Amino acid sequence: MELNSNIPGGPLQQKWDQHRADLKLVNPANKRKYSVIVVGTGLAGASAAATLAELGYNVSAFTYHDSARRAHSIAAQGGINAAKNYQNDGDSVWRLFYDTVKGGDFRAREANVYRLAQVSTSIIDQCVAQGVPFAREYGGYLSNRSFGGAQVSRTFYARGQTGQQLLIGAYQAMMRQVGLGKVKLYNKQEMMDLIVVDGRARGIVSRDMVTGKIESYMADAVILATGGYGNVFYLSTNAKACNVTATYRAHKRGALFANPCYTQIHPTCIPQSGDYQSKLTLMSESLRNDGRIWVPKAKGDTRSPDQIPESERDYYLERKYPSFGNLSPRDIASRAAKEACDDGRGVGPGGLGVYLDFADAIKRLGQEVIADRYGNLFEMYERITGEDPYKVPMRIYPAVHYTMGGLWVDYDLMSNVPGLFVLGEANFSDHGANRLGASALMQGLADGYFVIPYTLGGYFAKGGFSTVSNDAPEARAAVTEAQNKVSTLLSINGKRSPTSFHRELGSLMWDKCGMARNEKGLTEALKRIPELRDEFWKNLTIPGTGTELNQSLELGLRVADFLEFAELMCTDALHRNESCGGHFREEYQTEDGEAKRNDDEFCYAAAWEYTGVGSKPTLHKEPLVFENVHLATRSYK
Amino acid sequence: MRAFGEVWRSNIFQKWVMAITGLLLFLFLIGHLSGNLLIFLGPEHMNEYGHSLRTMVHGAAIWLVRGGLLLVFVLHVWSAIRLSQRNRSARPERYAKVDSRTSTIASRSMALSGLLMLVYAIYHLAHFTWGTAHAQFYAGQKGWEYTLADGIVVPDVYRMVIASFHEPLITAVYILAMILLGLHLNHAIASAFQTLGVTNKRIVPVIRLVGPLLGIGVAIGFCSVPLSIIAGLVH
Amino acid sequence: MNLRLHIWRQAGPDATGMLKTYDVANVSEHMSFLEMLDVLNEDLISKGEIPVAFDHDCREGICGTCGMVINGRPHGPVAKTTVCQLHMRTFKDGDEIYIEPWRARAFPVMRDLVVDRGSLDRIIQKGGFVSVNTGNAQDGNTIPISKLDADRAMDAAACIGCGACVAACPNASAMLFTAAKVGHLASLPQGQAERSTRALHMVLQMDAEGFGACTNHLECEAACPKGISVEFIAQMNRDYLASAIGGRD
């Protein structure tokens, strides 16, 4: 298979303009003759559904939530980047592009990233026009903050709820089209399969989660905007329902899955408090500006922190990285915490936590200043843990919160299956091996508002669509397959719940394919996953039937896919013999613990082709060519 | 363009009707109370006041006011019935357990207190206006005439009030009704301004404080008459 | 701690439901309320019983998916907290806890504690937006917006659409939800063009869905996990009447 990324020629700055000029158009009167299915109604999905409907296409939008406003985009707190340069501090499209490529550890496509930076400014304009209440200065102009160590202030925000406000903006735009009859919205529907007819994506199989009815829905193109796969770890900062099913099903139908091993770990999350833990909560990294991170020097020290004298504490970040100390980069801070805990020096229940201590800062600055800076975070921490961080040091631990990998797409955001487009976190395109803070929202909306409306039109304009009905043999076969899957799951009648398998898989993945990986661990995981999968299909129990609202069945269906996907992830992680961004292989690091890339051998996107359950996927390489930036070692010194 | 009916039937419009008529009724009560309190100035003032009400604009004013009051009253009750019906049907299945945070007995019993007051109002009219309920105390009966200072002979309303409230049952029912009125107004006044859309951050707290006090004040004002009579302060 | 739960069980939209009693043992005070229910459910599954269905997703208090009435209060006893952020340390050993779904005609129960809140989406559909197509927008800084207005808009826009206001209202009214959206957009210059028709259309849809009327108990404000003020209801009352009297639609 030849991977064609379809990157337009010409200088980087003109690629998108030239491409838009070259794309064929669909006559306004003809647009209503084309239909498109959008799966997922987060930032990318809702913005795409709204915009495509505004253009005149017939859109069907699917979400497994009870309302389109609940997608996990809503949980993003910090903000959204845009190269507006309102602060007159030297920002530009080029700088945002450069920062993103560098932040992604030179594993993203230049052309895609440049386009993302270009359209970022229009996103802000569009959202303001929709009534998104961005923070303003007293003069009435938009306010910016700096984020993630960027040297410019380019992040727009709406209190600590930027994701929520942007999502609601997109949701409202979509609901307007629902009211106008241009979008047909299917709530509580979970995609179970992709229907490919004559080599083109022409529909989906979806399950009504209230009645259990499984049906096919046909269209001229299918857009997946179904988010990331962080929940393969069971515990992550993702919402509980986030899953890989839609993209993995498309993968099984021929779409290539790219770079699944790129997962991002956030260092400051609230640690697990017990084995009942259901998810993890992220806290702003800004806490590290004033907090000091430490663990006891002795293993298994269970004294309360105030009983541990200064001389018996190990401020390991300050010790190991004297110049950066507690402000060491995310990945380094995360791995150092893991090392301390693996060494038996972790604190709190289960020993999976390190202290983030504000005692010195409070002594130096006074409690008032600290409350002013971090008051709401301290409150949130206290609500969850019951501990007052003004008195007792916080406990933190790293957690998975974003996945850079996803379905492979070309410059038009179309996968290798013609007619299957993939947007937002679900695709692999813009963040390389690591995503910068406040860039996830930007990418979701860029894809939905400003990229897909053009590229989908270009695809439709090429024509050649045969009429395909729900009676097509491919559609009927896919429906039957989905029905069989449900009845198989329900008839196992074993002993273990879907959650118990998910938990076990998650902890395995976290150990072997989490923030630090090595050949031995990955090999073990690749041996263990198929065993666990076998047990799943023999020993699963799901009470209830398939013709009612059955949340255990929903979980079972998702866990089944995670159990296959996890193998793909480990395979990718094992093959990539280098460390880059969110993929850290212990064998490949510099002396001071930094990721050591291997540009000679791995400067490519790894796109995997499905070859069967348990069978090794086929690797396709898309070489990454850097014509405009120079490959350099990320340095934080 | 929407038909008038559609807008008119909406909950918010009905609430506006409720609030405006409620405030008008409240104004009426203030007027009524002012008249009642004349009792403390003695029979001359009270009977003179009664006479002037009946003769203002050649006797037309009282009928205009009565007509207006009736309309306002009917609208108030009608919107109350419509809204209560809808509110009831909006929650067909009740909670097994409810733990209120801000609602009060007053706010939750508006329909009940209103209904009981409606019953009382009819009785009250039958008593003091029509003279059918307690004919023996009716001011219009023979022998209960009062001669004003300017020589005009009028029914002795003062005597009617004093005599009536010497009857313990009448007084008890009256005071009970006034407690209901106080309860009703306790929620009603502030609620009306919220419905009418007052959002000013300086004014709203004042309304929320003064509204309930005003309601209780009016009830106390009305009760002051029978209580003073029983206490023998007015005779 | 050990707890006795009385949970509403209902097999489907048309089935009759009832409170069923469950004893849960060894509940950790660090668990969230939903994790406590997770543990109960795992236990039910191991016994071959049907687990309790309840809605939840982000478990961070922002998606608005979760919601149940706990001991007579939506989202439980702690103010400005969604049920996913409620922790068991709020309760004590031996407590009896009543757990019921949101109750309203406009929120039919789908199963156990899961209700259908599609009525709220349909209210938004009638006007809870600015009609601006992608690409229409001018530069974001062209119209200065007073910080006070932007902040006020954000106060209203903080609504997570959970429906606790409806659940708490003795009349099952959706006024706070609707007013939050009307108030959010009415606070901004971008929302002015459609301001009067928006209020009219959304209010009429709210009525059509079968929500009750506001009788100003203020329970909604107290139950709202985001603390949205009833001031927005007052404002919507005004906007609605202006539109109804203005009669342009």
* A330: pLDDT strictly greater than 80: no
Residue A155 three-state SS: strand
Chain C partners of B22 at a C-beta cutoff of 8 Å? none
Considering only CB atoms, A129 lies closest to which of C65, C89, C190, namely C190
* A327: pLDDT strictly greater than 90: no
Give me the pLDDT at residue A375, please. Answer: 83
Domain residue ranges of chain B, discontinuous segments joined by +: 4-91+103-230
Which one is predicted more confidently, A636 or A50? A50
Considering only CB atoms, A67 lies closest to which of C31, C89, C117, namely C117
| Topology classification of domain C117-246 | Fumarate Reductase Iron-sulfur Protein; Chain B, domain 2 (1.10.1060)
Give me the pLDDT at residue B193, please. Answer: 96
- Residue reference for tokens 């008249």: B35
Report the chain C residue with the minimal C-alpha distance to residue A165. C157
DSSP state string for A592-628: TS-B---HHHH-EEEEEE--STTSPPEEEEEE---SS
Give me the pLDDT at residue A634, please. Answer: 67
Do chains C and B touch by CB distance (3+ pairs < 8 Å)?
yes
Chain C partners of B204 at a C-beta cutoff of 8 Å? 231, 234
For chain A, what percent of residues have pLDDT higher than 90? 85
Rounded-to-integer distance, Cα B20 and Cα A284, Å: 51
Domain formed by C3-110, architecture: Roll (3.10)
The CATH code of the domain at A477-623 is 1.20.58.100
Give me the pLDDT at residue C119, please. Answer: 98
| C-alpha pair distances (Å), A478 with each of A204, A206, A226, A537, C45 | 9, 10, 20, 20, 30
pTM, 2 dp:
0.96
* A448: pLDDT strictly greater than 80: yes
Give me the pLDDT at residue B74, please. Answer: 97
Summarised one tens digit per residue, pLDDT across range A131-184 is 999 999 999 999 998 876 578 899 999 988 999 999 999 999 999 999 999 999
Domain residue ranges of chain A, discontinuous segments joined by +: 265-401, 477-623
Considering only CB atoms, B199 lies closest to which of C100, C218, C231, namely C231
Mean pLDDT of the C137-160 span: 97
Summarised one tens digit per residue, pLDDT across range A209-258 is 999 999 999 999 999 999 999 999 999 999 999 999 999 999 999 999 99
Angle at A197 between CA A194 and CA A198, to 5 degrees: 140
CB of C70 closer than 8 Å to CB of C98: yes
Give me the pLDDT at residue A149, please. Answer: 56
For C:204-233, CB contacts with B below 8 A are 204, 206-207, 210-219, 221-223, 230-231, 233
Chain C partners of B15 at a C-beta cutoff of 8 Å? 213-214, 237
DSSP state string for B90-126: T-SSPPS----SS--HHHHTHHHHHHHHHHHHHHHHH
- Does the beta-carbon distance from B90 to C104 stay under 8 Å? yes
Q: Which residues of A are catalytic?
A: 330
| Domain A265-401 top-level CATH class | alpha beta
Report the chain C residue with the minimal C-alpha distance to residue B12. C237
Chain C partners of A47 at a C-beta cutoff of 8 Å? 134
At A288, give phi and psi (nearest 5°). -75, -10
- Does the beta-carbon distance from C134 to A240 stay under 8 Å? no
A477-623 shares the fold of A265-401: no
Give me the pLDDT at residue A1, please. Answer: 77
Mean pLDDT of the C103-112 span: 98
Mean pLDDT of the A604-615 span: 97
Give me the pLDDT at residue A217, please. Answer: 98
Rounded-to-integer distance, Cα A391 and Cα A624, Å: 51
Listed residue (A381, A384, A388, A396) closest to A348, CA to CA:
A396
Q: Which two tokens stand for residue C72?
A: 């007579």
- Sign, Cα dihedral of C58, C63, C65, C70: positive
User: In the structure, what pLDDT confidence band is assigned to residue A591 with cuts at 50, 70 and 90?
Assistant: confident
- Does the beta-carbon distance from C241 to B107 stay under 8 Å? no
Report the chain C residue with the minimal C-alpha distance to residue B79. C213
A420-422 and A221-224 beta bridge pairing: parallel
The residue type of A224 is L
- Exposure string for A466-475, b = 16+ CB within 10 A, e = fewer: eebeeebebb
Do chains A and B touch by CB distance (3+ pairs < 8 Å)?
no
Give me the pLDDT at residue A635, please. Answer: 61
CB of C99 closer than 8 Å to CB of C107: no
Angle at B42 between CA B39 and CA B44, to 5 degrees: 110
Give me the pLDDT at residue C195, please. Answer: 94
User: In the structure, what pLDDT confidence band is assigned to residue A436 with cuts at 50, 70 and 90?
Assistant: confident
Give me the pLDDT at residue C247, please. Answer: 66
CB of A241 closer than 8 Å to CB of C57: yes
CATH 3.10.20.30-classified regions of chain C: 3-110
Q: Which two tokens stand for residue B187?
A: 């929620």
Which one is predicted more confidently, C249 or C239? C239
Question: How does the average pLDDT of chain A come out, rounded?
Answer: 94
In this prediction the ipTM stands at 0.97
* A637: pLDDT strictly greater than 60: no
Give me the pLDDT at residue B5, please. Answer: 78
Mean pLDDT of the A12-29 span: 96
C26 near A CB under 8 A: no
Find the range with the poorest average confidence among A320-329, A339-348, B17-26, C217-226.
Answer: A320-329
CB of C163 closer than 8 Å to CB of C209: no
* C148: pLDDT strictly greater than 60: yes
- Does the beta-carbon distance from C216 to B14 stay under 8 Å? no
Rounded-to-integer distance, Cα A591 and Cα A263, Å: 23
B/C interface, count of CB pairs below 8 Å: 146
The CATH code of the domain at B4-91+103-230 is 1.20.1300
Considering only CB atoms, C128 lies closest to which of A138, A172, A240, namely A172
Give me the pLDDT at residue A598, please. Answer: 96
For chain A, what percent of residues have pLDDT higher than 70? 99
DSSP state string for A261-318: T-EEEEEEEEPP-STT----EE--GGGGGT-EEEEESSTT--S-GGGS-GGGEE-HHH
- Which segments of chain B have a pLDDT < 70? 1
Rounded-to-integer distance, Cα A498 and Cα A540, Å: 7
Give me the pLDDT at residue B140, please. Answer: 86
CATH 1.10.1060.10-classified regions of chain C: 117-246
Listed residue (A478, A414, A418) closest to A192, CA to CA:
A478
